[in-house]
Amino acid sequence: MNSIKPEEKEKSPSKIEEKDPLVQYVVLRRDLIDSWPLGSVVTQGCHASVSAIWCFRDDPLTSRYCAPDDIDHMRKVTLEVKGESQILNLSEKLKAGGIDHKLWIEQPENIPTCLATKPYPKSVASSFFKKLKLCK
């Protein structure tokens, strides 16, 4: 007979997900939000997000985030930094902290516009973003 103890049931993936959801962080530049057309800035975020998912497509967390049963339940947090130096500094901090991400460099202008992480449990990555403002 195969039975699950109550304490094991609480540790099932769905229960863990509720308490510590997978989140993809997307960070935009405020200076571009203020000076570029809205559609162009949204496009930069989309580029970074899709690129991060593709670059880390073989990662188990990314696979789980994109799984057919969870595809309609993705969580993203969209934040902002002031400008280019801040997004470059954030990228370096993420690298140093072992947080996989994609810094999107718009071509042919060679402008770093946005970054997006691979999906992480909120508890793993949120501390890197706690000082940033939600993008509004």
Q: Number of structural domains, the chain?
A: 1
Helix (H) or strand (E) holding 78: strand 76-81
Q: What's phi and psi for 99, nearest 5 deg?
A: -95, 110
Report the pLDDT value the prediction gives residue 19, as an integer from 0 to 100.
Answer: 87
- 6 found inside a domain: no
Helix (H) or strand (E) holding 103: strand 101-106
Give residue 126's domain range. 21-134
Report the pLDDT value the prediction gives residue 15, as an integer from 0 to 100.
Answer: 46
- 12 found inside a domain: no
Report the pLDDT value the prediction gives residue 17, as an integer from 0 to 100.
Answer: 56
Rounded to whole angstroms, what are the CA distances from 51 to 5, 82, 115?
A: 41, 22, 10
Q: d(Cα 27, Cα 47) in Å, to the nearest integer?
A: 12
- 123 found inside a domain: yes
CATH number at residue 52: 3.40.1490.10
Q: Over its length of 136 residues, how does the chain's per-residue pLDDT go in tens digits?
A: 444 444 444 444 544 457 899 999 999 999 999 999 999 999 999 999 999 999 999 999 999 999 999 999 999 999 999 999 999 999 999 999 999 999 999 999 999 999 999 999 999 999 999 999 999 9
- 34 found inside a domain: yes
> For residue 75, what are its two tokens?
């969580």
The distance of Cα 86 from the centroid of its chain, to the nearest Å, equals 17
Report the pLDDT value the prediction gives residue 8, as an integer from 0 to 100.
Answer: 41
Closest to 127 in 3D by CA, of 83, 102, 96, 105: 96
